[in-house]
């Protein structure tokens, strides 16, 4: 009887161990390799290492339906109330770009917030820190819906403001 109980318990212990390893691996993911998803629209955010930059602290891209890709960056503002100011851009020109050209292709701007497993809200961490459980992009949907990226030539499913950690790139 005891042997049967132990044999029956092994798969449960193994499954718990696998779940623990997966949770540990996900918690140890650095933000620059994190992948986030939004359930309603299927939108995804993939972070990439920024490289040497004096001002940009995070680089990512948001992938919407119809293979619409928005380029994203975060730069920390200076001062006593510094915040990670994020921008999402659609089809920006490359090279020496004027402020006016950059403003014309920016489809969302704002502070990027994070939330942990307990729901505690914080700010997007800079590269090297562990990826938070969720990211919050305030007023993302309405901004994107009014952008040139939305509609027949772009995406059709508007994401909500909250993205959850899906995994970690290798």
Q: Quick one: what percent of the chain has pLDDT higher than 70? A: 84
Sign of CA dihedral 118, 45, 127, 104: negative
Q: Which residue from 63, 60, 72 is spatially nearest to 131, judged by alpha carbons?
A: 60
Which sequence spans correspond to the domains of the chain? 30-168
Give the pLDDT band (50/70/90) at residue 15: very low
Contact 90, 149 (CB under 8 A): yes
Give the pLDDT band (50/70/90) at residue 6: very low
Burial 96-130 (b: 16+ CB within 10 A, else e): eeeeeeeeebbbbebebbbbeeeeeeeebbebeee
Query: pLDDT digits over 97-150, tens only?
Result: 889 999 999 999 999 999 999 999 999 998 999 999 999 999 999 999 999 999
Q: Which residue from 64, 102, 91 is spatially nearest to 148, judged by alpha carbons?
A: 91
pTM for the whole thing? Answer: 0.80
Average pLDDT score over residue span 45-58: 88
Distances (CA, A) of 130 to 23, 33, 92, 154: 13, 10, 30, 32
């Amino acid at each position: 009887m005891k042997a049967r109980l132990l044999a029956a318990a092994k798969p449960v212990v193994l499954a718990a161990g696998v779940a623990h390893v997966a949770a540990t691996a996900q918690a140890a993911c650095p933000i620059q390799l994190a992948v986030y998803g939004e359930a309603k629209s299927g939108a995804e955010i993939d972070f990439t290492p920024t490289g040497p930059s004096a001002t940009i602290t995070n680089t990512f891209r948001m992938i919407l339906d119809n293979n619409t890709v928005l380029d994203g960056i975060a730069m920390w503002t200076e001062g006593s109330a510094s915040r990670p100011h994020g921008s999402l851009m659609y089809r920006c020109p490359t090279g020496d770009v004027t402020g006016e050209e950059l403003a014309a292709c920016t489809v969302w701007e704002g502070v990027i917030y994070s939330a942990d497993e307990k729901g505690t809200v914080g700010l997007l961490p800079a590269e090297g820190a562990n990826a938070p459980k969720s990211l919050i992009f305030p007023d993302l949907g309405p901004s994107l819906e009014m952008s040139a990226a939305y509609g027949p030539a772009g995406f059709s499913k508007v994401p909500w403001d909250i993205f959850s950690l899906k995994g970690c790139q290798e």
